[in-house]
Amino acid sequence: MASIIGGLATSHVPAIGGAIHKGRQAEPYWKPFFDAYPPVQRWLGEQRPDVVVVFYNDHGLNFFLDKMPTFAVGAAPRYCNADEGWGIPTTAPLAGCEDLSWHLVESLVADEFDIVTCQEMLVDHACTLPFRLFWPQDEAPPVQIVPIAINTVLFPLPTARRVYKLGLSVGRAITRWADPRRVLVMGTGGLSHQLEGERAGFINKRFDLAFLDSMERNPEWATQFSDRELVAQAGTQGVELLNWLAMRGALSAAGSSVTTVHRNYHIPISNTAAGLLALQVA
């Protein structure tokens, strides 16, 4: 059977892609951010995952306000990136793992999640940039992926508790997948930030650090907050932390202890509180 080896979570703001493209990783503004990633890159080299299940949020490349699914699961042979208007070069297609995709689709429907199944799916910076950060030397990462998009844009948002349950369901399904491959689960986005309105530039360091602490020791901590309470605590775009919460739910379903391999918090990056977390399942 498949095994869940651990989880990763990282911020994904488009400015990161611009910095990579322009070779600015060593500049004073960017260096504290990029210096956090080599320990995780080395850990990935040791762990050698085969498949990555990615919880992320689409920014209009695949879905828009007129059609915004709460949860959408990719079931395609490959996932292409396209120009989003940020000036970031498009990346090589990401290879899909169709067998695991369909297994997850069937399992989620059996668990009464009403999902959208996408046999064609574009992926934006929320999905592509993390792979550039974790496998910087590879044009395309040496893994297959299953992307799962969570609505963090259009109200009503899924509750934190519902998202955590989604992660639990995905994690249980992975452990029942009759394939001996090693699976990594990833959540991308956040942490606290707001790009518009009276609170533009809002960052809540205290909440971010409490959330990071909860990821190892108390993964259900964030499920106490409603969607509007999360906005109040983390900002309108900070609700991307739902993707982290889904990742952590999947690790909880593995039924083993979870330990922190590496963690980093840095502010600000493009008006965003940048977080990085690597968790290992014992």
Work out the angle between the directed axes of helices 14-21 and 125-134 (0-180°, nearest 10): 50
255 has pLDDT over 80: no
Model confidence over 118-173: pLDDT tens digits?
A: 999 999 999 999 999 999 998 889 999 999 999 999 999 999 999 999 999 999 99
pLDDT-derived band at 5 (thresholds 50, 70, 90) equals very high
pLDDT of residue 84: 86
Respond yes or no: is residue 103 known to be catalytic. no
Q: Which of 103, 193, 262, 266 is catalytic?
A: 193
pLDDT of residue 139: 87
Q: What is the rounded end-to-end Cα distance, in angstroms, of the chain?
A: 16
CA neighbor of 181 nearest in space, from 146, 147, 150, 215? 146
pLDDT of residue 83: 86
Respond yes or no: is residue 59 known to be catalytic. no
pLDDT of residue 174: 98
Model confidence over 52-61: pLDDT tens digits?
A: 999 999 998 8
Please write down the HEC assignment for all residues of 205-218: HHHHHHHHHHHHHC
- Is residue 81 within 8 Å of residue 12, measured between CB atoms? no
Please, what CATH class does the domain formed by 3-190+238-257 belong to?
Answer: alpha beta
CA neighbor of 185 nearest in space, from 51, 282, 94? 51
Domain-wise residue ranges, the chain = 3-190+238-257
Q: What's the mean pLDDT in 180-185?
A: 98
pTM: 0.96
Q: Which of 59, 125, 262, 266 is catalytic?
A: 125
Model confidence over 207-254: pLDDT tens digits?
A: 999 999 999 989 999 999 999 999 999 999 999 999 999 999 999 998
Provide the strand spans (E) within the chain: 3-10, 51-56, 71-74, 78-79, 94-95, 116-118, 144-150, 182-188, 258-269, 272-281
